């Protein structure tokens, strides 16, 4: 049975607000757009230009496309990455989580190589030499064979259609699910989401998970489960999972496979979509082929534009056959990217290419046939606003090529385990919507079930 959504007016004379994420996301959004258009420029250079041109993406883009002598040049300290051993900084003592110090400074990149440093200073853990060598090589061969079917994602930026600076394909674990994804997860030939998060055109890129990718998913499953439990035990107060994090076992059933062909190919700053994963999602990310830098940085609610990069970035080096686990803190509180590389070491099998698989768990209760629809009658996307520490459903179509957004949004209700009201086993949320009632939302979505 389809759920129905009651819209409740809280006050007749309240004015319809704008979606609250617009302001706080704006610099990230602009940087993501610029990173896609100018993948050869570092984040810091783009930020510098953005400040110099008072936040105008179009002016920055025009300036960066102009011959060198016409560009605005601004003095800034040299930005060099540096390598450290951080073993002395943080350690878990008697189950008390370590105080993670901010080790990076604005404009600096801290390079991390060791698993201990990664787990102590980022919301990730890394396992080197994850698969037996022959399994990793067989998977790499399989995916290099698939890579010719990968596509660049397309999204709308102002009046222009823009392409992502790497190729991707989306896989699901059964034929029926693949068919359903094509039917349900698309909109007019393509569901395209915000560049600040990521954009996916499901009907051109989804397929059934190939044999090796599926086989490896079982190993990833076990390891991610163990790592997730360890993370809670070692890093969460009282060894309790985060609010809204699912207590269920993590079972991957879908994956994005990315191919970066050469050092110029990259992916801009983003958090992964929560729409089908739910709050506090966990992702297993396997790297094969050329070693590249996975950059992470905290999302800092900004007082002014200049603090966008106040804590600098951390670069985690991802060699062939390494598994990175992005834990439950990651998507809501941090952003990640694959930075363009000035130089790469070719891999004996993959040449200049890096293949990355992000294994994900799509939740049945977040299937688009169950989730709220916006005024365009399209399944809304789930977003998180750090400023309000709240989730919301929002119209997605604004970034799709040739479409404009209806601007609709509604606060999203979840129980402590991240289940929405229509999910089986929903425990209720006594605090909702009181924490948001004094805010500007006039519309609350509830379910009949
Ligand atoms: O290539 C990677 O390691 C990251 C890819 C990524 O961020 C994504 O698929 O969302
Ligand atoms: Fe991502």
Match 């969460």 to its residue by tokens. Answer: 236
Ligand 2 mean position, distance from CA 336 (Å): 6
Match 């688009």 to its residue by tokens. Answer: 368
pLDDT tens-digit series, residues 227-270: 999 999 999 999 999 999 999 999 999 899 999 999 999 998 88
Most confident of 344-348, 402-406, 439-443: 344-348
Is it the case that residue 184 has pLDDT exceeding 80? Answer: no
Using the atom order of ligand 1, give the atom closest to the CA of residue 272: 10
pLDDT tens-digit series, residues 87-114: 433 444 444 444 444 555 666 788 999 9
Ligand 2 mean position, distance from CA 370 (Å): 25
Separation of alpha carbons 209 and 219, rounded Å? 15
pLDDT of residue 286: 98
Report whether residue 120 contacts ligand 1, using a CB cutoff of 6 Å: no
Supply the ipTM of this predicted assembly: 0.99
156 - beta bridge partners? 161
Ligand nearest to C-alpha 256: 1
pLDDT tens-digit series, residues 192-225: 332 222 333 333 356 678 899 999 999 999 999 9
Residue with CA nearest ligand 1 atom 3: 356
- 103 to 90, 119, 123, 295, 378: CA distances (angstroms): 11, 14, 14, 14, 43
Count CB neighbours of 298 within 10 A. Answer: 18
Separation of alpha carbons 341 and 350, rounded Å? 16
Is it the case that residue 127 has pLDDT exceeding 90? Answer: yes
Question: Quick check: 205 and 151 in contact, CB under 8 A?
Answer: yes
pLDDT tens-digit series, residues 277-293: 999 999 999 999 999 99
User: Tokens for 34?
Assistant: 């610029």
Report whether residue 27 contacts ligand 1, using a CB cutoff of 6 Å: no
Using the atom order of ligand 1, give the atom closest to the CA of residue 260: 1
Report whether residue 399 contacts ligand 1, using a CB cutoff of 6 Å: no
pTM of the model: 0.73
Report whether residue 197 contacts ligand 1, using a CB cutoff of 6 Å: no
Using the atom order of ligand 1, give the atom closest to the CA of residue 354: 1
pLDDT > 90 in the chain, percent: 43
Match 């059933």 to its residue by tokens. Answer: 253
pLDDT of residue 32: 67
Count CB neighbours of 86 within 10 A. Answer: 16
DSSP 8-state class, residue 11 = -
Angle, vertex CA 100, rays to CA 99 and CA 105, nearest 5: 140
Ligand 1 mean position, distance from CA 355 (Å): 10
Ligand 2 mean position, distance from CA 268 (Å): 9
Separation of alpha carbons 309 and 51, rounded Å? 12
pLDDT of residue 261: 97
Ligand 2 mean position, distance from CA 172 (Å): 17
Ligand 2 mean position, distance from CA 429 (Å): 29
The per-residue b/e assignment along 93-126, b for 16 or more CB within 10 angstroms, e otherwise, is: eeeeeeeeeebbebbbbbbbbeebbbbbbbbbbb
Report whether residue 169 contacts ligand 1, using a CB cutoff of 6 Å: no
304 versus 241: the higher-pLDDT residue is 241
Ligand 2 mean position, distance from CA 410 (Å): 25
Kind plus residue range of the DSSP H or E element containing 18: none
Ligand nearest to C-alpha 356: 1
Question: Quick check: 287 and 9 in contact, CB under 8 A?
Answer: no
Ligand 1 mean position, distance from CA 83 (Å): 23
Report whether residue 272 contacts ligand 1, using a CB cutoff of 6 Å: yes
User: DSSP strand E in 262-402: where?
Assistant: 267-270, 283-289, 292-298, 313-318, 322-326, 334-338, 353-360, 381-385, 390-394
Report whether residue 244 contacts ligand 1, using a CB cutoff of 6 Å: no
pLDDT tens-digit series, residues 65-76: 775 544 443 333
Match 């803190």 to its residue by tokens. Answer: 329
Report whether residue 294 contacts ligand 1, using a CB cutoff of 6 Å: yes
Is it the case that residue 79 has pLDDT exceeding 90? Answer: no
Mean pLDDT of 122-131: 98
Separation of alpha carbons 391 and 384, rounded Å? 4
357 - beta bridge partners? 257, 286
Using the atom order of ligand 1, give the atom closest to the CA of residue 166: 1
Local confidence band at 305 (pLDDT 50, 70, 90 cut-offs): very low
Report whether residue 317 contacts ligand 1, using a CB cutoff of 6 Å: no
């Amino acid at each position: 049975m389809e759920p129905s959504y009651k819209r409740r007016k809280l006050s007749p004379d309240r004015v319809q607000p704008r979606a609250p994420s617009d302001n706080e996301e704006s610099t990230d959004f602009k940087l993501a757009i610029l990173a896609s258009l100018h993948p050869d420029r570092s984040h810091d250079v783009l930020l510098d230009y953005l400040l110099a041109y008072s936040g105008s993406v179009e002016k920055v883009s025009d300036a960066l496309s102009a011959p060198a002598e016409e560009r605005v040049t601004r003095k800034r300290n040299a930005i060099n990455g540096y390598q450290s051993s951080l073993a002395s900084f943080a350690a878990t003592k008697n189950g008390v989580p370590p105080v993670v110090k901010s080790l990076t400074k604005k404009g600096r990149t801290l390079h991390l190589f060791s698993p201990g440093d990664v787990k102590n200073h980022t919301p990730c853990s890394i396992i080197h030499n994850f698969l037996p060598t022959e399994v990793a090589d067989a998977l790499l061969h399989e995916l290099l064979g698939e890579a010719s079917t990968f596509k660049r994602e397309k999204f709308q930026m102002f009046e222009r259609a823009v392409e992502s600076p790497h190729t991707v394909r989306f896989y699901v674990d059964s034929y029926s699910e693949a068919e359903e994804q094509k039917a349900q997860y698309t909109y007019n030939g393509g569901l395209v989401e915000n560049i600040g998060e990521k954009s996916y055109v499901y009907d051109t890129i989804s397929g059934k998970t190939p044999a090796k990718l599926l086989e490896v998913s079982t190993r990833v499953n076990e390891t991610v489960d163990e790592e997730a439990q360890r993370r809670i035990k070692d890093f969460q107060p009282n060894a309790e999972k985060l609010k809204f994090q699912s207590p269920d076992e993590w079972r991957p059933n879908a994956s994005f496979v990315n191919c970066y062909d050469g050092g110029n190919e990259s992916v801009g700053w983003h958090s992964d979509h929560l729409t089908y994963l739910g709050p506090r999602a966990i992702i297993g990310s396997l790297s094969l082929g050329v070693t590249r830098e996975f950059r992470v940085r905290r999302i800092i609610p900004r007082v002014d534009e200049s603090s966008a990069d106040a804590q600098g970035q951390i670069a985690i080096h991802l060699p062939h056959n390494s598994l990175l686990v992005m834990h439950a803190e990651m998507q809501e509180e941090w952003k990640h990217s694959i930075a363009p590389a000035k130089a790469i070491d070719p891999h004996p099998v993959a040449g200049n290419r890096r293949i990355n698989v992000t294994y994900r768990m799509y939740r049945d209760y977040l299937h688009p046939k169950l989730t709220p629809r916006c005024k365009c009658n399209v399944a809304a996307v789930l977003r998180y606003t750090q400023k309000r520490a709240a989730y919301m459903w929002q119209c997605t179509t604004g970034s799709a090529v040739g479409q404009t957004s209806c601007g609709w949004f509604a606060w999203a209700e979840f129980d402590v385990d991240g289940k929405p009201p229509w999910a089986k086993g929903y425990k209720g949320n006594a605090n909702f919507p009181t924490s948001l009632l004094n805010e500007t939302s006039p519309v609350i979505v509830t379910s009949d079930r």
